[in-house]
Structure formats: structure tokens, C-alpha cells
Amino acid sequence: MAEEEQHKDNSVKNFIELVKKSRRGKLKIYIGMSAGVGKTYRMLQEAHALQRNGIGIQVGYIETHNRSETHALVDGLPVIARRKTFYKGKELEEMDLQAILNRHPEVVIVDELAHTNIEGSKNSKRWQDVLDILEAGISVITAVNIQHLESLNEDVEQITGIAITERIPDKILDLADEVVNIDLTADELVDRLREGKIYEKAKIERALQNFFQSDKILQLRELALKEVAHHVERKIDIEVPKQIKLRPEKFLACISSNAETARIVIRKTARLASYYRSPWIVLYVQSSSESLDRIKLDKQRHLINNLKLATELGAEVVRLKSDAITQTIMKVAEEKEVTTICIGKPHLNLWQVILKTAIFKELLNKIAATETDLVILS
């Protein structure tokens, strides 16, 4: 009888989740390779088109960056006043989340998705505000640059030489009903910069020397195009019926207390899981040589931070204690029905290679027997 009641409870919970999903607002994200490609301009153009078609749309937050052609498009659109607040002796403006929820338009425009809110706001990040707005049944049109995507953070820093501190988790793009790339060639973007359509004149030369170089723009453009292509592929996988049922992908990222390698493995596995729209797991097997009383405090801190990063990127984190590392990895892979195991490129000297060959061979043999793929991430 108790089992029957439990089944009824689960059935009700599942139905409630379905109802919530149907009431949730739709999310459209305009994505671009950099500032100045025209994301805000396109959002405002769409706002006017929706308004002409009788859709109740309002501007929750827009950042025109004093671009005259963009600023002109705000005219004629209802704008929700920003919330003014004092922070460290200065009057600052933020998007007024509560005013948007109270006014409850059909659609709201929210620019600068990766923005960090002023201390004391309900949410620390604007993307969290957007989730609240969607949950209230309001649809959102928003914009973000590709460099703000969490799993691309290190790739972008390597391309541009600039550390990106404001980031959004990949799950936001996964939640989006539509992702649209605003694309320009490198030459077109540089021309826009020279014409003063992106930054004021005083900043143009500096921008040309730093961020706005053709090789950097091309690499960022490639990242943006790939991201949107993968989003389309994921939508096809979900919405187009399959004639043949394929084995669903599931990734297992194996990390150690080596902070740098672990971070690379986590980020790259997050990308793979994102491309395949599949669940993934981060596994840390603590051997007796890595027990808390044997590894340094800074290593422990880095390990905790890496496991936290994995959680933020959407992984299931598994921590186990064992000296039989290969067997533990394979046991978890079998229990979790993993299709691909991801490990870091080992940084080993010759003696370590000789000593660890047997373990690696054992891992390969076990993987071959279970039709599991192995990916070594450099």
C-alpha cells in the first residue's frame, strides 16, 4: 500500500513539473563573437516587430553604449525604469527585477546577460534574474558575447590574453529555446570600430592594438559559430524523432589532486557533454597517498575549488576512497552506464611510465571489454 502511495506521489510530482514547464517563459539568446557585432540592435529591431504584431513587449534593461543608431531604436518601446541604488558612495543603476515581475509583460528585453549585480541585489548575477523572470511565465530576449561562456573561459583567455571575470554557466544556453548568432566578418567588425560605431574615438586605437585583431576575431568567430551549430544539433536530437535508438552518451571525467590537469579535464568534458547534450560525472578517487593528512593544504583547496567548478558546470560529483584506482573507475563507469571516460594527459617521467604501464594496460583491457571509449585530454 505504501508503495502504491509513493507511486501516486511521484506521478503527481511529474505532472506538476510538466505544468511548470508549460507555464515557463521562452528564452531567446543572441550570441556574438565580441562587442559591436549588433546584438542589442537586433534585439531592439525584434522588439519593434513584436510590438507591431500585438505582443506585449517591454525593455527591462538595455545598454546602447551611446551608439546613436542603437539608441534611436529605443524610441517607441515601453521601458521599465532602472532601480537606483547607492553603493560605496555612488548612485548606480540596476535592472529592476521586481518591477518586471510586477508588470509581467509577455516578453521582456534583458541586455548584458553576464552582468554581475550590485552587492545586496536579490541575485548576484543577471542570468539568475533571467531564470526568475522565466519561472514567472515571462519570455526573455537577451544577449551575450561568446567569451562569457564558462566552459570556454580558458580558451578565450588564451586567444585574447584577457581574463574574463563575468561568466554564465553553459546550462543557460541549454535552457534556451532559440540561440541566434549575430555574425560579421573580421573586416566588417574592424570597419565598424574605425567608424566609431563601437567605442568612442579615444578608445579606438587601443582596441585595434589589443582585442580587435583579425586573428583573434576569427578564432572567436569560430567559437561562436560552433556553439550555435551545436545548439541546433541538440534541438534536432530532442525534437526530431529518431528511427534508430542510439546509445545515449554519458561522460565520466576522472581527476586527481593535480589542480591544473583536473581543471582542464573538467572544462573539456563539460564541452563534450554540452555538445552531446548528455549527463556527465566527475570522479575523484582518493588513494591512501592522497589522504587529507598527506597532501598539502593548497592542494586540498584547489581540489575543493575544482569539484565546485564541476558542480557549477552541471556535473554529478563522485568522491571515493580506494587504492584500486582502475577497478574503481570501471566500477563507477559500469554502475553509471558511462559511454566515454575522459582522463588528463599524464605528466610522467620515464620511471613512472614503466611503473604505471600495467595499470594503464589494465584500464585499456577493461574498457575494450565493455565497449567504452577513452578520451585523453591534452
Sorted by sequence, the CB contacts under 8 Å of residue 283 that are 6+ apart come out as 252, 253, 254, 255, 318, 319, 320, 328, 329, 332
pLDDT at 349 exceeding the cut of 70: no
Identify the CA nearest to 127 among candidates 139, 119, 115, 135: 115
Sorted by sequence, the CB contacts under 8 Å of residue 194 that are 6+ apart come out as 204, 208
Q: pLDDT by residue (tens digit) across 99-122? A: 999 999 999 999 999 999 998 899
Instruction: Please give the torsion angle defined by the CA atoms of residues 224, 228, 231 and 233, in that order, rounded to the nearest 10 degrees.
Output: -120
Mean pLDDT over 317-322 rounds to: 92
Give the CA diameter of the chain.
75
Question: What integer pLDDT is reported at residue 245 of this predicted model?
Answer: 46
Q: What is the pTM of this model?
A: 0.62
Q: State what percent of residues in the chain have pLDDT above 90.
A: 38
List the grid coordinates of 30.
543572441
Helix (H) or strand (E) holding 141: strand 139-145
Helix, strand, coil share (%) of the chain residues, nearest 5: 50, 20, 30
Instruction: Count the Cβ atoms, other than its own, within 10 Å of residue 277.
Output: 16
d(CA 60, CA 126): 11
Question: What integer pLDDT is reported at residue 137 of this predicted model?
Answer: 94
Q: pLDDT by residue (tens digit) across 223-271? A: 888 888 887 777 766 666 554 445 678 999 999 888 888 999 999 999 9
The band of 131, judged by pLDDT with boundaries at 50, 70 and 90, is very high
Mean pLDDT over 304-331 rounds to: 91
